[in-house]
């Protein structure tokens, strides 16, 4: 039987949810207008007053806010409460540039913990569980966010942080961890290490994993589920809205339910800003309707996905988002073709390779080059040059069929690609280095 953390909210009829969102939105817009000069100026420029926002139907009237605005306002420009009311800050991983800092009141932390508690419960977690938190702790939201949710549920929580993989595995065995939480790339690494140590998934008590903070494919999910003997659930979030737990997967494992009593999602056309209907791919935009300290309205995440409000077998009515296929700025344009790293990952795993790879893009004689180094599993290695070349050609062909462009594939020896303990960096786009202005 499906368990819920907040049954009333998670299964609320849509009309009631809309009323709740509208009530919270109206209050939030006023809070932001009164307390955040940066956003008040944006609203004034657009000619929108708080009174113009009467329900969620008016959301589209508000101006967007983007990462560039947050960098502009660094550090206090978007803070909406006195600093003395804040109890914590976190900061983005800086994956795509200068870090952004976000502030939290105690109520903000409680709301966030509740969102994560819903995710843990949806993955089958109860106070009988032992949760191993192998996301990084510190300014990054992963460790602290999952830790807070795990406490809320009453799980025995192991705040391991990431890294020190041998110790992770030892604690996992000795303390009987039942739920592992970390990035999917680190989960794959732990799975690989367990196999090398000769430990079978049956020797572990693990039953589920809650993985997020970076894009991962369905193929990667299968690799992790098999190597660890678990069900692997996706979790999504970002520092700007709180951290992990903005959206989470349920037993259906098909898209993530958004905690829309706190975060109203919209999908927009990234070029025109126009709101798109459910079912269309576009950029995800969030409005935080309950946050006190750092309440962003219409924040453009740059993550690309699709929203759906169909019935879910788990009984939740919360709107669902598909796995983000990557950020608009992860997308590479190679010889005029749009390429996401996740498309390449899908082919690699389907062709029997492990998810250890590096994508290098460059421009030679005005033409883009795509080189993919892929690690072999020991059994894929052959000392016959021709065998290796045949394998490389076969893989290149499979990738060409998917992308429409011809890559150069290099099979590299087992263990030669550095494993990730946090967010994996898999793309090196050397064209950006050529384009960057020379440093003086
Ligand atoms: P940064 O933007 O510097 O990486 P964050 O640590 O706040 O900072 O990361 C948030 C971003 O991580 C999201 O905007 C999204 O791109 C990515 N992300 C988080 N969870 C997932 C997930 N489950 N699937 C895909 N991408 C995710
Ligand atoms: Zn569901």
> Is 440 part of any domain?
no
Residue 155 sits in a domain of what CATH number?
Answer: 3.40.50.12780
Average pLDDT over residues 232-249: 97
How many CB atoms lie under 10 A from the CB of residue 392?
A: 16
Q: Are residues 39 and 176 in the same domain?
A: yes
Q: Are residues 354 and 242 in the same domain?
A: no
- Per-residue model confidence (pLDDT) at position 97: 67
> Is 193 part of any domain?
yes
Asked if pLDDT for residue 280 goes beyond 90, the answer is: yes
Would you say 221 and 187 are in contact if contact means Cβ atoms under 8 Å apart?
A: no
Atom index in ligand 1 nearest the CA of residue 327 equals 16
> Is 39 part of any domain?
yes
- Per-residue model confidence (pLDDT) at position 95: 65
Does residue 247 line the site of ligand 1, with CB under 6 A? no
Average pLDDT over residues 280-295: 98
Q: How many domains does the chain have?
A: 2
**Which residues place a Cβ less than 5 A from the ion ligand 2?**
250, 252, 312, 314, 316
> Is 26 part of any domain?
yes
Does residue 238 line the site of ligand 1, with CB under 6 A? yes
- Per-residue model confidence (pLDDT) at position 329: 73
Does residue 102 line the site of ligand 1, with CB under 6 A? no
* Ligand nearest, relative to CA of residue 320: 2
Instruction: Tell me the pLDDT tens digit for each residue of 404-440.
Output: 999 999 999 999 999 999 999 899 999 876 655 543 3
* Ligand nearest, relative to CA of residue 301: 1
Least confident window among 7-11, 116-120, 215-219? 215-219
pLDDT band, residue 351 (cuts 50/70/90) = very high
Q: Are residues 318 and 337 in the same domain?
A: no
Average pLDDT over residues 235-243: 97
Tokens of 91: 């900061």
Asked if pLDDT for residue 392 goes beyond 80, the answer is: yes
Q: Are residues 347 and 322 in the same domain?
A: no
- Report which of 347, 306, 124, 318 is spatially closest to residue 232, judged by C-alpha positions: 124
Asked if pLDDT for residue 20 goes beyond 50, the answer is: yes
Q: How far is the CA of 263 from the centre of ligand 2 (A)?
A: 17
Which of 329, 359, 392 is the last residue in one of the domains? 329
Q: Which residue, judged by its Cα, is nearest atom 8 of ligand 1?
A: 92
> Is 242 part of any domain?
yes
Q: How many residues does this entry show for the chain?
A: 440
- Domain housing 427: 332-435
Instruction: Tell me the pLDDT tens digit for each residue of 100-109.
Output: 899 999 999 9
Does residue 236 line the site of ligand 1, with CB under 6 A? yes
- Report which of 149, 145, 306, 308 is spatially closest to residue 238, judged by C-alpha positions: 145
Residue 428 sits in a domain of what CATH number?
Answer: 3.30.300.30
Task: Kindly report the average pLDDT of the chain as a whole number.
Answer: 95
Does residue 97 line the site of ligand 1, with CB under 6 A? no
Atom index in ligand 1 nearest the CA of residue 324 equals 25
């Amino acid at each position: 039987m499906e368990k819920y953390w907040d049954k009333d909210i998670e299964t609320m009829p849509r009309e009631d949810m809309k009323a709740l969102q509208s009530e919270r939105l109206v209050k939030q817009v006023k809070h932001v207008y009164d307390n955040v000069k940066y956003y008040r100026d944006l609203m004034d420029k657009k000619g929108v007053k708080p009174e113009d926002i009467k329900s969620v139907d008016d959301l589209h009237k508000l101006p967007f806010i983007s990462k560039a605005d947050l960098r502009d306002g660094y550090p206090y420009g978007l803070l909406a409460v006195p600093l003395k009311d804040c109890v914590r800050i976190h900061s983005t991983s800086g994956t795509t540039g200068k870090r952004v800092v976000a502030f939290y009141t105690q109520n903000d932390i409680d709301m966030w913990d509740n969102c994560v508690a819903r995710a843990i419960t949806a993955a089958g977690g109860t106070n009988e569980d032992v949760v191993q938190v192998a996301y990084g702790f510190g300014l990054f939201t992963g460790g602290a966010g999952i830790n807070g949710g795990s406490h809320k549920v009453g799980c025995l929580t192991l705040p391991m942080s990431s890294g020190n993989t041998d110790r992770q595995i030892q604690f996992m065995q000795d303390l009987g961890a039942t739920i592992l939480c970390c990035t999917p790339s680190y989960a794959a690494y732990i799975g690989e290490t367990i196999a090398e140590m000769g430990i079978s998934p049956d020797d572990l008590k693990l039953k589920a994993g809650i993985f997020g903070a970076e894009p991962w494919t369905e193929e990667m999910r299968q690799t992790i589920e098999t190597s660890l003997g678990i069900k692997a659930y996706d979790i999504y979030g970002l520092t700007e809205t709180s951290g992990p737990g903005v959206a989470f997967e349920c037993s259906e494992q098909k898209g993530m339910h958004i905690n829309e009593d706190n975060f109203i999602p919209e999908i927009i056309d990234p070029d025109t800003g126009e709101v798109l209907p459910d079912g269309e791919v576009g950029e995800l935009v969030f409005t935080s309707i309950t946050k006190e300290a750092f309440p962003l309205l219409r924040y453009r995440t740059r993550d690309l996905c699709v929203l759906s409000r169909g019935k879910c077998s788990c009984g939740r009515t919360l709107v669902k988002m598909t796995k983000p296929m990557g950020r608009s700025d992860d997308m590479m344009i190679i010889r005029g073709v749009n390429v996401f790293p996740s498309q390449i990952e899908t082919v690699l795993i389907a062709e029997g390779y492990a998810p250890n790879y590096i994508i290098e893009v460059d421009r030679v004689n005005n033409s883009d080059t795509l080189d993919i180094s892929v690690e072999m599993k020991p059994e894929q290695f052959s000392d016959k040059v021709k065998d290796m070349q045949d394998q490389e050609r076969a893989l290149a062909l499979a990738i060409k069929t998917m992308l429409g462009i011809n890559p150069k594939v290099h099979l590299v020896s087992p263990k030669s690609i550095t494993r990730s303990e946090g967010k994996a960096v898999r793309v090196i786009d050397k064209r950006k280095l050529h384009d960057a202005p020379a440093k003086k």
